[in-house]
Structure 1
């Protein structure tokens, strides 16, 4: 029986979520107040669409909520999401996931909490983007960074420059010639297409390679790839919006942080609350202003205004002036692959971060395995324990006999982290981190469960 999902709000988050889930066996209904958004969905995907207010009881009563497995309230308006969640809860929806922008609801002293509305899980897109950006700041020269096993294992994305010592060499050769830098190349993005690389894959210029290693070895992996990390001291954030403020509040005690905000009232208002951050009221695209602030001495520039055209232009401008690390935030997810190639160091989207978070929740529930989905990479990360009676153990297979569509990135054995090589053995009760495409998750289960 298909899992029934209702998605209220099909903006960037809702649309990309439907696009990901519609590839699987889910019975999906979307609700949006704008007819053109519903048409966009139904013209490209096999889902049911209802035009109307997702917070309206009359609209929700068109569905038998007692049969709904997941109700996702994903509009841009917190109040609509809360009302829709409460109505669906009272009507019998089984699990409710809600998108909220206002982080006050998560405070310990909050008078109104998501639990009072029957909400099982809250997604805060801006907080998700803040977390992703902070990871990149703390691991410079990377285009992406994901953490596993409570931060003990990292997957770091590195763009392979033409000067990289890896260019022209294959994966197997690089692993053998760097025995003291244990790593696994789990994923390659080449010409906007991602794939799990076979061992004979040759590194090429402009590849983005995703390397898995122990957290303590990531700096050495970056150096091996020709992109050594550097120390960040001075940070400039363009835009005092939600993401900019969250970043400044979190970073101001460890770095010299400046926020550039063009709106005078906004700059004045938040200058009083961010006491350890210098807020400058100026146009971040003004070259004279950037020169007066010695932009070339900035270690990290984060373009986080609510106008992505401004973000893109500002990022290119400061990169030209020699800023070491430029992080660009975008909201239109269709731009994601294109802007990766324009010369900035890293691209982050609060919408993609939110989609990945929701996909992880739903897929982990359905697979009975912890599954982290990375929609921007078109890949999943699965964490599972090897069962004694599994096919791998019964058939006495070796790590070389594992299908190339699966990458065993790390093994946790008796609390020890192991980055596997060709001679590594896998035992019952080992905890594996497997990187693969969504369609191959069943192969992982058959092999190790």
Structure 2
């Protein structure tokens, strides 16, 4: 597959890293030679210095032969313009990153689709969705729903109170048990577990289950004492905070701390009483105390500074807040935040790249998510008739090492998968993989 990426910034660089694992033919266009030099030495790809809004540059990059053209510069107009031009040159599919919610309105999305922009990616909206999913369950690091909760994946940090530690998974996750452990992050190691693997204290374990058994999972991992989130404090009033508040469940009460008084006025107009906006610096412990930090169940730090977000969440944890969420754009800082036990880590470039990554797959893929903490991918595949995955029971498929099938949805009903499960065409199958070429997995479903 030939892929052209316009913009060697954060998302483009991360996306190049993600796609280079699959040995695709990748060309990165940027008008800054230094950015191109950095990305060119790190990954196996071609670079081209120039503007993707130039027809000459696009022709030089052979955009007409591109299977996927991705525009992820900081300039919305440049991204849309370059996608329109690439489409006119007969690129097969185009994707543009945008930073304005107006573009996501259905009629406007359709307008740009008719112009040749097949997909619009709005990182703030994607990040807000992940934040809300994290806040809905204070005892869970990450939640991922399949078919409106027919299947649920829960990423949970295990503590001493977990009652299923130090036992082989084959004793815990049999065909009749209501959950499977599909991935484990242990210190710097990611494990796609087998029957002889065990859960250890401080593991980050990923459980696949169905909605009715969520209370049971909560009990066996020892998290029943975690209170549900009703009061939320958000540090930083940027675009991601606005999107998160606008999609917040009605039962959650939210306070936003913003140091810029002019931005506070803008927030009051944008949010229309959906949150209490406070002009103050929440790094001041006195301010947090006055505003009720000890009666707050969740603290979300969304400033543009990763160090500030990490330190703020550490401080909130020391003041008794169970659920903390930090926006951390640096991958190096993300690893550090995980080791410090910060809580849920939000990385917009990884979230956006996961969504774009889904678009390059040929199989019928409903969703792809990169599990940042575990350095693993989870995807929903729909098998085609007579595809390899439908011909034998799961245990006889010869799945590659580092891949496991966590569950499936059939006729709207979630089911866990065992070795004897026979997958059918049209099932929605949830796959976990670590260090496996997604194209290799895709062949099982085509």
- CA 289–413 in structure 1, closer or farther in 2 if over 3 Å, else same: closer
Match of 1:279? 277
Is 1:223 the equivalent of 2:219? yes
Distance 1:112 1:372 in 2: 23
Structure 2 vs 1, CA of residues 37 and 139 (structure 1 numbering), >3 Å: closer, same or farther? same
- Partner Cα distance (2:40, 2:280) in 1: 44
Secondary structure of 1:122's match? strand
Task: Classify 1:386/1:6 alpha carbon distance in 2 versus 1 (closer, same or farther; 3 Å).
Answer: closer
Deviations 1:299-355 (A, max 9, x none): 111101122222111111111100121011111233222211212221111111101
Instruction: Name the residue aligned to 1:52.
Output: 50
Secondary structure, aligned partner of 2:247: helix
> How far did 1:413 drift?
3.9
Residue equivalent to 1:42: 40
Summarize the Cα distance change of 1:120–1:391 in structure 2 as closer, same or farther, 3 Å threshold: closer
Instruction: Report the CA distance between 1:21 and its aligned residue.
Output: 0.8
Q: Which runs of 5+ in 1 are unaligned?
A: none
Offset of residue 60 of structure 1: 2.3
* Residue of structure 2 aligned with 1:199, choices 195, 199, 205: 195
1:232 matched residue in structure 2: 229
Larger deviation: 282-291 or 397-406? Answer: 397-406
CA distance in 2, matches of 1:82, 1:389: 37
Secondary structure of 1:426's counterpart equals coil
Alpha-carbon distance change, 400 to 341 in structure 1, aligned in 2, over 3 angstroms: farther
Which deviates more, 324-333 or 379-388?
A: 379-388
Q: Is the 8 A contact 1:238 1:260 kept in 2?
A: yes
Aligned equivalents of 2:158, 2:417: Cα separation in 1: 23
Shift of 1:379: 2.6
Number of residue pairs matched by the alignment: 440
Listed one character per residue, the Cα deviations across residues 182-229 of structure 1 (whole Å, up to 9, x for unaligned) are 001011111222221111101112211110011222232132112235
Kept in 2, the 8 Å contact 1:106–1:113? The answer is no
SS in 1 for 2:152: strand
Q: Does 1:264 align with 2:261?
A: yes
Cα shift at 1:255: 1.4
Structure 2 equivalent of residue 9 of structure 1: 7
- The CA deviation at 1:427 is 5.6
Separation in 1, partners of 2:439, 2:69: 26
SS in 1 for 2:202: coil
Instruction: Give the Cα–Cα distance (whole angstroms) in 2 for the partners of residues 41 and 86 of structure 1.
Output: 25
Tell me the residue number matched to 1:302: 300
- Say whether the 8 Å CA contact 1:382–1:435 is kept in structure 2: no
From the superposition, tell whether residues 373 and 61 of structure 1 become closer, same or farther in structure 2 (CA, over 3 Å): same
Shift of 1:390: 4.7
Alignment match, 2:247: 250
Matched, 1:418 2:425: no
1:189 to 179, 185, 188: 185
Partner residue, 2:347: 349
Q: Secondary structure at the match of 1:140?
A: coil
The question of whether the paired residues in 2 share the 8 Å contact of 1:252 and 1:276 is answered with no
TM-score (structure 2 length as normaliser): 0.90
- TM-score after normalising by structure 1: 0.90
Residue 238 (structure 1) shift: 0.8
CA distance in 2, matches of 1:111, 1:190: 42
Match of 2:316? Answer: 318
Instruction: Give the 3-state SS of the residue equivalent to 2:173 in structure 1.
Output: helix
Greater RCO, 1 or 2 (C-alpha within 8 Å, sep 6+): 2
SS of the counterpart of 2:60? coil
Distance 1:189 1:4, change over 3 A: same
For 1:356 and 1:63, how far apart are their aligned partners in 2? 24
Aligned to 2:71: 73
- Report the CA distance between 1:286 and its aligned residue: 0.7
